[in-house]
Amino acid sequence: MERLCHIAAHAGHLVPLAVLLHRRHVVLVFAGLAVLVGVPTLRVARAQGSDLGTEAQREAGKALYLKYCAQCHGENGDGEGYATPHLLPKPRNFTSGKFKVRTTPTGALPTQQDLVNIIRRGMPYTSMPAWPNLS
């Protein structure tokens, strides 16, 4: 697993070096998250008729998630990454199916675009950085 020394400063936040990744990687990360987290993320995708890509794309997304997201959000998306003890507020637990920022009604799952927006814009006043190079 990568160490915290592989994290760089970006816009006042700590951010994995994934900032330099190409835009298409957000879709791969989303697909990888679906593989790791399972039900809540898959429900979002299925409800929207989203294509989670091929098996190879999902595996690539899983690898990106594990490399760049798991340090905070945990290998299983439970918000218990190795950096979590050092972060306030704590990273989002994707396994709960609860998402703070969304365009859907309270209690509903976010759209795929909601998730893309958070990845691209980050979450102000948290350690979730904006990754504008991803889409």
Inside any domain, residue 65:
yes
Within-domain flag for 29: yes
Q: How far apart are CA 30 and CA 116, in angstroms?
A: 8
Q: How confident is the model at residue 116 (pLDDT cuts 50, 70, 90)?
A: confident
> Residue 75: pLDDT band by 50, 70, 90 thresholds?
very high
Residue 132 domain flag? no
pLDDT of residue 70: 92
Could you tell me if residue 128 is inside a domain? no
In the predicted structure, residue 19 carries a pLDDT above the cut 90: no
| Mean pLDDT value across residues 23-51 | 57
Q: Mean of the pLDDT values across residues 15-41? A: 53
**Report for 59-63, 81-85, 112-116: range of highest mean pLDDT:** 81-85
Which residues, 6 or more positions from 101, have their beta carbon under 8 angstroms from its beta carbon? 110, 114, 117, 118, 123
CB 19 within 8 A of CB 133: yes
pLDDT above 60 (res 104): yes
- Is residue 93 situated within a structural domain? yes
Structural domain includes residue 1: no
DSSP 81-131: -TTGGG-SSPPP-GGGT--SS-SSPTTSPPPHHHHHHHHHH--TTSS----
Between CA 37 and CA 76 the distance in angstroms is 6
State residue 8 phi and psi, 5-degree precision: -115, 160
Helix (H) or strand (E) holding 28: helix 25-37
Output DSSP code: residue 14: E
What pLDDT is recorded for position 84?
Answer: 94
Structural domain boundaries enclosing 48: 14-121
Quote the percentage of the chain above a pLDDT of 90.
21
Q: How many domains does the chain have?
A: 1
Q: Is 11 helix (H, G, I), strand (E, B) or coil?
A: coil
